Amino acid sequence: QTLEKLEKNVRDGKFYEAQQMYKTIFARYMASKKHTEALDLLQSGASIQLRHGQVTCGVELGLLLVEGMTTIKLAYGPEALDRIKAVFKEFPRSPTLEAQYSTKTLIEGVSTFMKAAIRWSSEFGAPSRGSPELHELLADFLARESPQPDLAKAFYHYVRGNNPSAFASAIISGMLEPEEGDLLLARGVFLYLSMGNLRDANKLFDELHSQLKDSSQASVLASPLTHLAKFILLTLERDALPLFRMLRENYKSSLDRDPSLNELLDVVAEKFYNVQQRKNGLFGDLMKVYSSLTPRRKKKSIL
């Protein structure tokens, strides 16, 4: 009955009034240890506010939901994950002219909510980097909905997910400049390797090759940088540091097209061959690399 009354307020356009009631009742439920009721309330409230285009209200309730899950130390698992996914799927997509929110508000809202959920997942049972499934959902949203290229944010989450095929599709969608297609391919492969993930780096390369070979962008596969990416993958299968170094030297002119590629390979050398040659440490260097992925030219859509 309480949920029905609150939902009616939202349907009637009384968004602020409903929002305050959701927060008040949530606090009351938590104080009474009615944890399931509290989470049900916020999941429902965030979802219906988002369904009605109230992104700011929906995000606020979504963050309270994650806070509640954290407070009660809710374990990461299918049931808890379904709560997050239920809210996420209600976020509107590309705004219409009548929308009461901007694209910037939408992207920031989704990112804020999902990053909070990823943090919760990393603390209560998911892998240390957070739920791969949540990373994938956020990466796909950023890739499809951002009005301008934001490769750093999308790539960051794709390489923390478990879906190289989706990552490959996003990379190919981003090949708006033919001469830069091989850069996107190499960045994707090297980012996986910088995480120590040779398996998914190989899967990504194979998927890109499969999708590109019969397409209008097949010329990307003939690029020296694409060849280098393949040779690097083969080299890392064995203890071959001298060959790794030789490849970097032989393909220096290709790598110099994008400073982030050499920085990534420095991280790869440390991950796979324990080569200590940088002062900032792995985390500092990776953050520097991600910040350098923003394209030099504005384009109409991300990836």
Could you tell me if 197 and 269 lie in one domain? yes
Instruction: Report if residue 149 sits inside a domain.
Output: no
Could you tell me if 300 and 163 lie in one domain? yes
Instruction: Report if residue 138 sits inside a domain.
Output: no
Cα–Cα distance measured from residue 213 to residue 215, given in angstroms and rounded to the nearest whole number: 6
Q: What is the pLDDT of residue 146?
A: 81
Instruction: Report if residue 150 sits inside a domain.
Output: no
**69-88 pLDDT per residue, tens:** 999 999 999 999 999 999 99
CATH number at residue 30: 1.25.40.10
Q: What is the pLDDT of residue 291?
A: 53
Which segments of the chain have a pLDDT < 50? 283, 295-303
> What is the total count of domains within the chain?
2
Instruction: Report if residue 135 sits inside a domain.
Output: no
Sign of the CA dihedral running 168, 173, 174, 180: positive
Instruction: Report if residue 139 sits inside a domain.
Output: no
Q: Provide the residue range defining the domain that includes 257.
A: 159-303
Q: What is the pLDDT of residue 298?
A: 39
Nearest to residue 265, comparing CAs of 283, 238, 287, 289?
A: 289
Give yes or no for a contact between 189 and 207, defined as CB atoms under 8 angstroms apart: no
Could you tell me if 101 and 172 lie in one domain? no
Q: What is the pLDDT of residue 240?
A: 95
Q: What is the pLDDT of residue 296?
A: 42
Could you tell me if 165 and 296 lie in one domain? yes
Instruction: Report if residue 147 sits inside a domain.
Output: no
Could you tell me if 38 and 85 lie in one domain? yes
Instruction: Report if residue 107 sits inside a domain.
Output: yes
Tokens of 285: 């260097």
Q: What is the pLDDT of residue 301?
A: 33
Residue 149: DSSP 8-state: -
- The H or E element containing residue 272 is helix 259-273
Query: Rounded to the nearest 10 degrees, what angle do helices 103-123 and 78-88 cross at?
Result: 170
Could you tell me if 116 and 179 lie in one domain? no
Instruction: Report if residue 75 sits inside a domain.
Output: yes
Could you tell me if 178 and 121 lie in one domain? no
Cα–Cα distance measured from residue 135 to residue 154, given in angstroms and rounded to the nearest whole number: 9
Could you tell me if 115 and 175 lie in one domain? no
Could you tell me if 247 and 302 lie in one domain? yes
Could you tell me if 171 and 58 lie in one domain? no
